[in-house]
Chain A
């Protein structure tokens, strides 16, 4: 079945450091890929998405490229801020499904220190 694997956290960085959170997926067909972010005590927010191979999603300085050859969708940011501290979830949607269900990874907690 479809699944998402993302690097385990927590990840602790200093402000202005480079961030990479790895995400790989297993899916039949051609899924859409997403990164969601959850700030402390809140629900999830869509951060960025990519719907086909080689697409690059970007938002708020974060970016991720849909790599079909490596089945990956790694999240990157060049210079993190304290306000980026949150849990980040990689997710996929199987276009073959009729219900739009998302399959989530387990989440990676990011802590950014000043």
Chain B
């Protein structure tokens, strides 16, 4: 089955700790994205990557970092600099030539205690 995997589904961390969220896809998509979802605010773009070893900041990149060493993987690190990290994080990818038709993973709910 092709798709996007995010793990874990729920993640708890203490304030001040960095945490890395996993995103893997086996769809052979070049482009990948990270969104943050907060209640009543829809989705906001954190980072995106159109190709391996390249990534760009989205609308709310402060306090986050990413890497794209492999086509299949696009991990997101939530650093201690992120002032309000508790949220639902969604990873997505899109096929070549159809960048707007994004396929989403099931999400990771991060709670910082």
Across the interface, do A34 and B43 meet the contact criterion of CB distance under 8 Å?
no
A100 to B33, CA, bound (A): 10
Q: Please tell me if A93 contacts chain B, counting CB pairs below 8 Å.
A: yes
Interface size on B, residues (CB 8 A): 26
Residue tally, chain A, CB below 8 Å to B: 20
Task: Say yes or no for B2: interface residue by CB 8 A criterion.
Answer: no
Report B68-102 CB contacts with A as 1/0, cut-off 8 Å: 00000000000000000000001010100011111
- Asked if A49 is an interface residue, CB under 8 A from chain B, the answer is yes
Chain B residues near A (Cβ < 8 Å):
4, 6, 31, 33, 40-43, 45, 48, 50, 56, 58, 90, 92, 94, 98-107
Selected contact of B105 from candidates A43, A46, A93, CB within 8 Å:
A43
A45 at the interface (CB under 8 A from B): yes
Give 8 CB contacts A-B under 8 Å. Answer: A36-B104, A43-B6, A89-B42, A93-B99, A99-B48, A101-B58, A102-B43, A107-B42
